[in-house]
């Protein structure tokens, strides 16, 4: 992917408007664990439902399911009744806090996606034809539709990337720093699918900014010390500066806008960086040093 495509200017992120809950709907107070056999609504369901609108996030959820179980999901005529049905049909399948991914569909073009963590619905999206409903609005629309749906539910593995020798650049100190980047990606993903990014986001953003400052400086000093060709060095620095700028821009939006939407976009950018930069641009200096027989000592 071209640099301009990866770091193109993004539209402003705005916070999702809160929806009014139906009377009697059980909402997570944020204290303690949901009672056994009950399914609650996260009080941030409208915000975290945006996560299920990001194709790369949904793809990684589906690709990292640790097995799925199939059920018949019956929908009643209110949000409260629908939650009761979910509790009776889904809760017995939840063997731990999760997160769990629920997918359901019908023959008339309705599909449902949901994330459940610690007995709470973290995100909920319903698609009907070209219409997309999110959060409370999606649950209310589903209650109006009623009916039965074929559904599957599976545990989501939250560690989606692991450092391996494939990613090695032949310089131990840089390999160790790259491994830290993998952990940051895993933290972003886990915090999104569990509905905990707003609690953990400050620490994640701080780690990412420290990584870009420290790791990029280490790489550039090594390239300077061992006389990496100037054209390759300048191209590499250009990549670093663009990524630093992107992270700083996301950090600003994180502090002023919808933090969860920022996390979802940050996830896409970091995944692309891992694939295109570490496995592409970084491999060039590994090949150069190997070709000249240079043993790099940081």
pLDDT digits (tens, 9 = 90+) for 85-121: 778 888 788 888 999 999 998 777 899 999 999 989 9
Domain 165-291 has CATH 1.20.120.50: yes
Identify the pLDDT of residue 286. Answer: 93
Confirm if 282 and 177 have CB atoms less than 8 A apart: no
pLDDT surpassing 90 at residue 183: yes
Kindly report the CA angle at 138 between 133 and 140, in degrees rounded to 5?
A: 135
List the beta bridge partners of residue 141.
none
Strands 40-41 and 120-128: parallel
pTM exceeds 0.75, yes or no? yes
259-290 pLDDT, tens digit each: 888 888 889 899 999 889 999 999 999 999 99
Domain with CATH 1.20.120.50 in the chain: 165-291
**pLDDT beyond 50 at 2:** no
Split at pLDDT 50, 70, 90, the class of 14 is very low
């Amino acid at each position: 992917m071209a640099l301009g495509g990866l770091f193109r200017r993004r539209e402003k992120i705005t916070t999702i408007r809160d929806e009014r809950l139906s009377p009697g709907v059980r909402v997570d107070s944020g204290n303690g664990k949901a009672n056994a056999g009950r399914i609650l609504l996260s009080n941030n369901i409208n915000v975290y439902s945006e996560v299920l609108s990001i194709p790369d996030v949904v793809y990684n959820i589906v690709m990292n399911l640790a097995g799925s179980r199939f059920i018949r999901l019956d929908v009643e005529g209110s949000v409260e009744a629908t939650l009761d049905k979910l509790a009776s049909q889904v809760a017995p399948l939840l063997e731990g806090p999760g997160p769990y991914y629920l997918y359901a569909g019908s023959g008339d073009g309705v599909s449902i996606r949901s994330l459940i963590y610690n007995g709470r619905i973290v995100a909920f999206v319903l698609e009907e034809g070209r219409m997309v409903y999110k959060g409370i609005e999606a649950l209310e629309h589903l209650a109006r539709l009623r009916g039965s749906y074929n559904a599957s539910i599976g545990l989501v593995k939250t560690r989606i990337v692991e450092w391996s020798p494939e990613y090695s650049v032949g310089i131990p100190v840089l390999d160790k720093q790259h491994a830290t980047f993998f952990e940051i990606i895993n933290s972003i993903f886990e915090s999104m699918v569990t509905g905990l990014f707003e609690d953990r986001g400050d620490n994640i953003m701080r780690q990412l900014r420290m990584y870009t400052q420290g790791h990029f400086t280490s790489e550039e000093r090594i390239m300077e010390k061992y006389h990496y060709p100037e054209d390759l060095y300048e191209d590499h620095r250009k990549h670093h500066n663009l990524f630093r700028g992107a992270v700083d821009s996301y950090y600003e939006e994180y502090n002023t806008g919808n933090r969860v939407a920022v996390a979802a976009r940050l996830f896409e950018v970091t995944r692309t960086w891992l694939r295109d930069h570490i496995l592409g641009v970084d491999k060039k200096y590994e090949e150069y040093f190997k070709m000249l027989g240079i043993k790099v000592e940081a």
